[in-house]
Structure 1
Amino acid sequence: MPRSARPRSRQRLFTWPLLVGVVVVLALVTLSLFVGVYDIWNDPDGLTVFFATRIPRTVGLVLAGAAMAMCGLVMQMLTQNRFVEPTTTGTTEWAGLGLLLVMLLFPEAPLMARMIGAVIAAFVGTMLFFLFLRRVMLTSSIIVPIVGMMLGAVVGAISTYVALSTNMLQSMAIWFTGSFTSVMRGYYEPLWVVLIVVVIIFIAADRFTIAGLGEQVATSVGLDYRRILLIGTMLIALATGVVTVVVGNLPFLGLIVPNVVSLMRGDDLRSNLPWVALGGVALITACDILARVVNMPFEVPVSLILAMVGSVAFIALLLRQRRRA
Structure 2
Amino acid sequence: MSMQTQLARAALPVVFALLCLTSVLIGANGLGLRWLLAPSPEALLVLTASRLPRLAALVLTGAGLAISGVILQQILRNRFAEPATTGGMEAAKLGILVALTLLPTSGPLVRMGFAMLFCLAASLILIAILNRIRFRDAVLVPVIGLMFGAVLSALAEFYAFSHNILQSMQGWMLGDFSRIVQGNYELIYLVLPVVVLTYVFARRFTVLAMGQDMAQSLGLSYRGMVAVGLMLVSATVAATVITAGSVPFVGLVVPNLVTLWRGDNLRRTLPVVALAGGSLLLLCDIIGRIVIYPYEVPLGLTVGGIGGAIFLLLILRGPK
TM bucket, shorter chain: over 0.9
Q: Report matched runs for 1:1-325 at 5 Å.
A: 17-40=8-31, 41=35, 45-321=42-318, 324=320
Cα distance in 2, alignment partners of residues 247 and 134 from structure 1: 33
Query: Structure 1 CA distance, aligned partners of 2:74 and 2:155?
Result: 29
Of residues 248-257 and 263-272 in structure 1, the stretch that sits farther from structure 2 once superposed is 263-272
The CA deviation at 1:307 is: 0.6
TM-aligned CA deviation for residue 278 of structure 1: 1.2
Percent of paired sites with the same residue: 38
Shift of 1:15: 5.4
The one-letter code sitting in structure 2 at the alignment partner of 1:177 is L
Does structure 2 retain, via aligned residues, the 8 Å contact 1:32–1:289? yes
**Structure 1 stretch 120-129 or stretch 193-202: which is displaced more?**
120-129
User: Which residues of structure 2 form unaligned runs of 5+?
Assistant: none
Structure 2: distance between partners of 1:15 and 1:206 = 25
Distance in 2 between residues matched to 1:16 and 1:278, nearest whole Å: 16
Residues 118-168 of structure 1 show CA distances to partners (whole Å, capped at 9, x for unaligned) of 111111111111222223223311111000000000000011111112221
Aligned to 1:5: none
Write the distance in 2 (CA, Å) between the matches of 1:206 and 1:15: 25
Report how far residue 16 of structure 1 moved. 5.1
Q: 1:180 is paired with a residue of what secondary structure?
A: coil
Match of 1:3 in 2: none
Contact 1:176 1:244 in 2 (8 A): no
Quote the offset at 1:175 in angstroms: 2.8
Q: Deviations over 1:211-266 (max 9, x none)?
A: 11101110111111111101000000000011011011111000110111111222
Q: What's the TM-score, normalizing by structure 1?
A: 0.92
| Greater mean alpha carbon deviation, residues 124-133 or residues 191-200 | 124-133
Alpha-carbon spacing, 1:114–1:270, altered in 2? closer, same or farther (3 Å): same
After the TM superposition, which segments of 4 or more aligned residues of structure 1 sit over 4 Å from their partners?
41-44
AA of the residue aligned to 1:73: V
Q: Is the 8 A contact 1:183 1:247 kept in 2?
A: yes
**Shift, 1:186, TM fit:** 0.7
For 1:177 and 1:166, the matched residues in 2 are separated by 21
Question: What is the number of residues matched between the two proteins?
Answer: 312
Residues 191-229 of structure 1 deviation map (CA, whole Å, 9 limit, x = unaligned)? 111100000000000000011110111011111111110
Give the match's secondary structure for 2:85.
coil
Shift of residue 177 of structure 1? 2.0
Moved more, 34-43 or 193-202: 34-43
Match of 1:156, SS state, is helix
1:45 aligned counterpart, secondary structure: helix
- SS of residue paired to 2:83: coil
Amino acid aligned to 1:33? V
Give 1:184 shift: 1.2
What's the secondary structure of 1:99's corresponding residue? helix
* Aligned-partner Cα distance in 2 for 1:15–1:275: 14
Q: CA-atom RMSD, angstroms?
A: 1.7
Shift of 1:185: 0.8
Which one is further off, 302-311 or 31-40? Answer: 31-40
**Distance in 2 (alpha carbons) for counterparts of 1:118 and 1:295:** 33
Deviation at 1:46, TM superposition (A): 2.1
Residue 22 of structure 1, CA deviation: 1.1
Asked if structure 2 preserves the Cα contact closer than 8 Å seen for 1:18 and 1:275, the reply is: no
Separation of aligned partners in 2, 1:30 and 1:61: 13
Instruction: Please state whether the residue corresponding to 2:84 is helix, strand or coil.
Output: coil
Amino acid across the alignment from 2:215: A
The alpha-carbon deviation at position 44 of structure 1 amounts to: 5.2
